[in-house]
Amino acid sequence: MLKTPLKSLIFAFFLLFTVVLSSCSARIDGVFREGGEAELVIRTSLEPRTLALVRSLNSFMGEASEAPILDGRSVSLSMAAVPGVRAVSIRNTSPSALEGSISISNVESFFANGSSNSRFISYSSSPASSSIVITLDRNSVPELISRLSPEIVEYLSALFAPAVLGDNINRQEYLSLLASIYGRPLADEIAAARILVQIEFPRQIIAVQGGNHTGRQAEFSIPVLDVLVLESPLRYEVRW
């Protein structure tokens, strides 16, 4: 990783959001409990074209070519400082792949700074029914990223992500822009990338928005392109 502890934490956060917001293979499995607690298992690896881009950025910053692209220990240290995280353990399965677990003590405080306006997760509970809503839009996503570090914005700006830069362009225009700068293979890789999420809830699920459900289990297949562009707000809701 980078040469100082501070830069290591900053770069670990960048890698985490590269995993979530660019071309990758990612799967999240979890259990949600009444009271707002959650246990997540994450498996992710960078796709070849994105891997090459990150290595180029590393080289530009003076990193050795053999240095790990993803560092599980640094990501664990970074995530441990995030509000709402009770425990985290992430390890490398290869230099560009990670897997591990994150224990969340309260989903509403996850990545929040104490203000209700900063929350992108809403949770309500009663004996009769409960619900959780996650909203990703051009207000919540930039605020979420900037709260971690301005360097993350700079890295995602290298991908010209409209969600970060505030550009009002659609998905096709964004893919054309990427293809003109980094080549069609990288644009195609990002267009095909999805984040697969499977969460078990405490009771029978009544309804799901943005995904599917069977019994107590909700499933989501989230196009990474939709998150990068945010042409329309993304809203995911589960009621049980």
* Stretch 67-88: mean pLDDT: 78
Q: 102 or 151, which is more confident?
A: 102
Shortest CA distance to 91 belongs to which of 73, 79, 103, 74? 73
Residue 49: pLDDT band with limits 50, 70, 90:
low
6: enclosing H helix or E strand: helix 5-21
Predicted local distance difference test score (pLDDT) of residue 13: 42
- Contact yes or no for 145/156 (Cβ under 8 A): yes
Q: 3-class SS at 195?
A: strand
Residue 23 has pLDDT above 50, yes or no: no
Distance CA 237, CA 240 (A): 10
Q: How far is CA 65 from the centre of its chain?
A: 25
- Contact yes or no for 219/213 (Cβ under 8 A): yes
Name the token pair of 207. Answer: 């309804």
Q: What is the pLDDT of residues 183-232, one digit of tens each?
A: 898 888 889 888 889 999 999 999 999 999 999 999 999 888 998 899 99
- Contact yes or no for 197/28 (Cβ under 8 A): yes
- Contact yes or no for 46/190 (Cβ under 8 A): no
- Going by the DSSP 8-state scheme, the letter that residue 2 receives in this structure is -
In which region does residue 39 sit, left (phi positive, over 0), alpha (psi from -120 to 50) or beta (all else)?
Answer: beta
Shortest CA distance to 15 belongs to which of 61, 68, 65? 68
CA distances from 227 to 6, 11, 25, 93, 224 (A): 28, 21, 15, 26, 5
On the 0-12 / 13-18 / 19+ scale of CB atoms within 10 A, 80 is middle
Name the token pair of 39. Answer: 């246990």
Quote the pTM value. Answer: 0.76
Q: 3-class SS at 191?
A: helix
Name the token pair of 85. Answer: 């995280």
- Contact yes or no for 240/205 (Cβ under 8 A): yes
Q: What is the pLDDT of residues 157-176, one digit of tens each?
A: 777 888 888 888 999 999 99
Q: What is the pLDDT of residues 80-132, one digit of tens each?
A: 888 888 999 988 887 778 889 999 998 888 766 555 555 688 899 988 899 99
Single-letter amino acid, residue 60: F
